[in-house]
Amino acid sequence: LGENPQRRDGYSESDDAVFTWCVGHLVTMSYPAEYDASLKRWSMDTIPFIPTEWKYEIIPAVAKQFNIVAGLLNREDVDKIYVCTDSGREGEYIYRLVEQMAGVHGKKRLRVWIDSQTEEEIKRGVRDAKDLSEYDNLSEAAYLRAKEDYLMGINFSRVLTLKYGQSISSFFRQNNRTVIAVGRVMTCVLGMVVIREREIRNFKETPFYRVIGRFTDAGVEAEWKAVEGSRYFESPLLYKENGFKEEKDALALIEELNGKQAKVKSIVKNITKKRAPLLFNLAELQAECSKKFKISPDETLQVAQDLYEKKLTTYPRTDARVLSSAVAKEIGKNISRLKGFEPTADFVEHIMQKRLYANIADTQYTDDSKVTDHYAIIPTGQLTELSGLTSLQRAVFELIVRRFLSIFYPPAEYENVKLVVDVDKESFFASSKVLKSEGYLQVANPPKKKSFEESNARILGKNTETADSTDENSTANGSNDEIVVNPKVMLELADKLKAGDEIACQGYNIKFGKTSPPKRYTSGSMVLAMENAGQLIEDEELREQIKGSGIGTSATRAEIIQKLVRIGYLNLNKKTQILTPESLGEMVFEVVYMTVPALLNPKMTANWEKGLDGITRGTVDFWEYRGKLESFIRKETEKMIEQNLRPEIADRISSFEVRRPDER
């Protein structure tokens, strides 16, 4: 962008341009003591603290760089400023604070918004830069987000610490009052982990008994279900429609059915298709890396940032899982450049030869309405820095490339057979599923992990890899001991049998099952749950419907989890990435639950985030939102001041007392 720029202290300069940078935030919000020295001491008399005029200050550790940047912004020979901070809410906030503190006036300011750091994308961003004022809504949302977190943190943390911090300290054998750290998002996440842990602790295993029939000369096993028409339909004797609470009732059913003729009610053979999943956004990538590589969300974010800075992939802090129509038109460039990436070179060649990318703009993988700041994370196709990657960076890059290329391949096809057998008024069900055509699956995973033969073996129940795809946030559920029917046998039966045919019954037996407790959150499943307002939704379409209702943002979720671990509220098992609450975290949960339970509600927390998103989009008024925020802070703080729940809270947290080693 400039001829022969010369590196100086904190900036570079060419004949016609100056380049400078921030190092994260250079300016921050001032603590209450900067408003009034008396506010340094925590006191009930000085809260709620809600400034009418907000104060900001330069962060001492980066004051030198701020002074350099401020001086350059105000240089007389500088008449145009290109703002190239991170293309998102936080990046916007970083620059606006610097401009505010530097007192910049009378300059033309243009916003550069880019999706990757390739040279052509940077030049496009500069060429198409818009007036900074077009991002004022984003700026307002950024300022309000910071004020929201500040006000909740300052007021709620102070009042709860003053009232109940000593109660917690007594259980840790400490004299100093324990600081109770409360935050809009982090307290909600703490609550999700604590509630899940208590569900597991309180879980009581429930046995149930399933009735299995063996039919035809091949001995096909089918499972009884109490569907409409059954004598047991909606019976209180059932645990679920396919199991009895008591073994004696299952035995009674078998006694009723013995010797009675079995008939085919229906047998259906069809083909189902499964399309490639949507592209990665940051949350999906973090969840997948937690599962595959056992790394935390903040580690994944760092790798994704490294790949972005090496020009290998697009902007990582994105919520979108689709392409924009503009990018879809040019996507052939990204694909063709990947010929140099050996693990997927053959797939690239096939896509380019067959022009499989030609209609991608007309598929579910392209949708401008689902692209906010940035489209999904995809490879740029620029591979110049590929050789310098670490093994982990390379593995994550390959994951992104395979997900990207898979959307250009046809769906995987499965051949299914479903058999329903009637005996008297009772129905038995059997089904099989076999992979007929791999489609995108051949691209999605490295061959060593999943060949065509292994795919079919997995469907036949010969591979335990399916355990990785279970719902990590499921509630108590039945046994996973599913009946597996040989697809070859079922396909043969589909050609021989028809509805109404009598078939042989070789007898019945009982399969014992038991409920299992909900699974603990992993760091990866927690990120997904945060994105989906406290729910882990596996269905692609449902996930898209709830979009925009998440807790936190793609840029902050990893740090929130990391902070909860750092302050001792949560424990993260680095080997398994499983999250569990620490004793201190459980005590803080009890305090919040008794005083300001709204903070533990994921939907309420998500609504605050949705409001900020509305400000960005121009559908929510800044002052109306700020008024509601300040009213909420004032009301909740005053309510907590008036309450005295020390005896109740001391009683509730006593069960989480941490004893010294010699007392355990």
CB 634 within 8 A of CB 51: no
What H or E segment, with its residue span, contains residue 395?
Answer: helix 391-406
Q: How far apart are CA 248 and CA 237, in angstroms?
A: 10
- Per residue, what are the HEC states of 144-203? HHHHHHHHHHHHHHHHHHHHHHHHHHHHCCCCCCCCCCCCCCHHHHHHHHHHHHHHHHCC
Indicate whether this model's pTM tops 0.75: yes
| Alpha carbon 106 to its chain's center | 43
554 vs 365, which has greater pLDDT? Answer: 365
**Of the ranges 256-270, 572-586, 642-656, which one carries the lowest mean pLDDT score?**
642-656
Q: What share of the chain is helix, strand, coil (3-state, %, to 5)?
A: 45, 15, 35
The first and second tokens of residue 377, run together, are 């994370």
> Which of 647, 523, 517, 537 lies closest to 574, judged by CA?
523
**Residue 262 confidence class, pLDDT cut points 50, 70, 90:** very high
Q: How far apart are CA 615 and CA 625, in angstroms?
A: 8
Q: How far apart are CA 304 and CA 282, in angstroms?
A: 8
Q: How far apart are CA 42 and CA 51, in angstroms?
A: 16
pLDDT at 459: 43
The average pLDDT across 542-559 equals 70
pLDDT at 602: 82
Q: How far apart are CA 220 and CA 215, in angstroms?
A: 5
**Residue 480 confidence class, pLDDT cut points 50, 70, 90:** very low
Q: How far apart are CA 654 and CA 662, in angstroms?
A: 18
pLDDT at 661: 39
Q: Which residues contact 63 (CB under 8 A, 6 or more apart)?
A: none
pLDDT at 21: 96
Tens digit of each residue's pLDDT (9 = 90 or more) over 132-160: 999 999 999 999 999 999 999 999 999 99
**Residue 549 confidence class, pLDDT cut points 50, 70, 90:** low
Q: Is the pLDDT of residue 476 over 60?
A: no
Angle at 80 between CA 74 and CA 85, to 5 degrees: 85
pLDDT at 455: 47
pLDDT at 603: 79
**Residue 535 confidence class, pLDDT cut points 50, 70, 90:** low
**Residue 608 confidence class, pLDDT cut points 50, 70, 90:** confident
110 vs 119, which has greater pLDDT? Answer: 110
Share of the chain above pLDDT 70, in %: 90
DSSP state string for 6-18: EEETTEEE-SS-E
Tens digit of each residue's pLDDT (9 = 90 or more) over 412-466: 999 999 999 999 999 999 999 999 999 999 999 887 644 444 445 444 443 333 3
| Bridge partners, residue 415, by sequence | 271, 434
